[in-house]
Amino acid sequence: EAQVTQNPRYLITVTGKKLTVTCSQNMNHEYMSWYRQDPGLGLRQIYYSMNVEVTDKGDVPEGYKVSRKEKRNFPLILESPSPNQTSLYFCASTDFRDYGYTFGSGTRLTVV
Amino acid sequence: DAKTTQPPSMDCAEGRAANLPCNHSTISGNEYVYWYRQIHSQGPQYIIHGLKNNETNEMASLIITEDRKSSTLILPHATLRDTAVYYCIVWGIYNQGGKLIFGQGTELSVKP
């Protein structure tokens, strides 16, 4: 089944403790992206990657890092999480052809 | 900012057609109209997209006006499982790195 897999689904952590949210897609898509969703602010892009080793900032990149060492994986790294990064995170991928973006199921992160 | 305007909420009776409007008066010639939906806090799901012709798939129909300044998503026989937030998005591969820009969407409630 074609899908984007994120892990973990839920995570509660403390301020300053580094964490990584993993994202993997099995569709051989070149383009991958991370979004965060907050009440009243909607979905906003954090980072995106056009291909392996090619990444760029989205609208809200502060406090996040990404890497794209392999085509299928696009992890989101929070080096020093803060409470304002408490949010619902989605990874997505596309090949810019017929079916738009495929989104993962989401990761609900709480930073205390 | 999102280039689309949608009503914040709509109701529909189960079994009836749901017609969700979207205005996109500043759409460019190379931009598509995409529709996604988000059920509760799951990842957004692709529904349908079009450039200028009307489109139909197993989920929905998309009607785009001749001047392309507005469109309507039609769910022909709405069910309770169609209750979701529906996003109309204007997207172009050459615009802003190909990202999806989400507005606030229309919250559709399908009632028995």
* Residue B8: exposure state from Cβ atoms within 10 A (0-12, 13-18, ≥19): exposed
Provide CB contacts within 8 A for B70, sequence distance 6+: B21, B22, B23, B24, B25, B64
**According to the model, what pLDDT value does residue B75 have?**
98
As a 3-state breakdown, chain B gives helix, strand, coil percent values, each rounded to 5, of 5, 45, 50
Q: What is the pLDDT of residues B32-62, one digit of tens each?
A: 999 999 999 999 999 999 999 899 999 999 9
Question: Which residues, given as ranges, of chain A have pLDDT below 50?
Answer: none
* Tokens representing residue A10 in the block: 């839920």
A58/B99 CB distance under 8 A: yes
Q: What is the mean pLDDT of chain B?
A: 93
Task: At A103, list the tokens.
Answer: 């989104």
Q: What pLDDT is stored for residue B2 in this prediction?
A: 72
Distance of CA A53 to CAs A57, A79, B60, B95, Å?
13, 20, 37, 21
Q: What is the pLDDT of residue B92?
A: 84
- B98: closest chain A residue by CA: A96
Q: Find residue A49's DSSP bridge partners.
A: A32, A55
| pLDDT the model gives residue A40 | 87
pLDDT at residue B16 in the model: 97
What mean pLDDT comes out for the span B12-36?
Answer: 94
One-letter amino acid for residue B53 of the chain: N
Q: Which residue(s) pair with A56 in the sheet?
A: A48
What's the pLDDT score for residue B27? 92
**Close Cβ partners of A105 (under 8 Å, ≥ 6 residues apart):** A5, A6, A9, B42, B43
Q: What is the DSSP letter of A14?
A: -
What's at A82, amino acid-wise? Answer: S
For the segment B60-87, what is each residue's pLDDT rounded down to a tens digit? 999 999 999 999 999 999 999 999 999 9
- Measure A99 CA to nearest chain B CA, in Å: 7
**Best residue in A27, A99, A101 to probe B by mutation, most B CBs within 10 Å?**
A101
Task: Give chain A's mean pLDDT.
Answer: 95
Residue contact B45–A108, C-beta within 8 A: no
Amino acid at the residue B8: P
